[in-house]
Chains A and B, each alone.
Chain A
Amino acid sequence: MRNNQGMTAQVTRTDILDVAREQVLERGVPLTHPQIVEVMRTGDDRLQDLLALAHEVRMKYQGPSVEVEGIVSLKTGGCPEDCHFCSQSGQFTSPVRSVWLNVPELVRAAKQTAATGASEFCIVAAVRGPDDTLMEQMREGVAAIRAAVDINVAASLGMLSREQVDDLVDMGVHRYNHNLEAGRSYFPNVVTTHSFDERWDTCLMVKESGMELCCGGLVGMGETIEQRAELAAQLGELEPHEVPLNFLNPRPGTPFGDLPPMETGDALRTIAAFRLALPRTILRYAGGRELTLGDLGTRDGLLGGINAVIVGNYLTTLGRDPREDLALLDELEMPIKALNETF
Chain B
Amino acid sequence: MLDGDAVGPVARTSAPGAWCGQCGEALDAGEHARCARRAELEPPRFCVHCRRRMKVQVTPGAWTATCVQHGTVEQPTWG
Contacts and interface: CB of A to CB of B under 8 A. Distances in A.
Interface residues of B, number: 22
B42 A97 contact: no
A322 B16 CA distance: 30
Contact of B60 (A99, A113, A290, A316): A113
B19 interface: no
Q: Is the interface of B mostly helix, strand, loop or mixed?
A: loop
A316 B56 contact: yes
A311 interface: yes
Contacts of A70: 60
Given A290-B41, A313-B61, A317-B41, A96 B56 contact: yes
Interface of B: 23-24, 40-43, 45-46, 53-63, 77-79
A245 B36 CA distance: 27
A98 B57 CA distance: 9
B79 A313 contact: no
B78 A322 contact: yes
Given A95-B45, A290-B41, A317-B42, A72 B59 contact: yes
Interface string A112-127: 1101100000000000
A252 interface: yes
B60 A71 contact: yes
Contacts of B60: 70-72, 109, 112-113, 116, 311-313, 322
A318 B63 contact: yes
Contacts of B40: 318
A318 B77 contact: yes
Contact of B42 (A73, A76, A318): A318
A247 B43 CA distance: 19
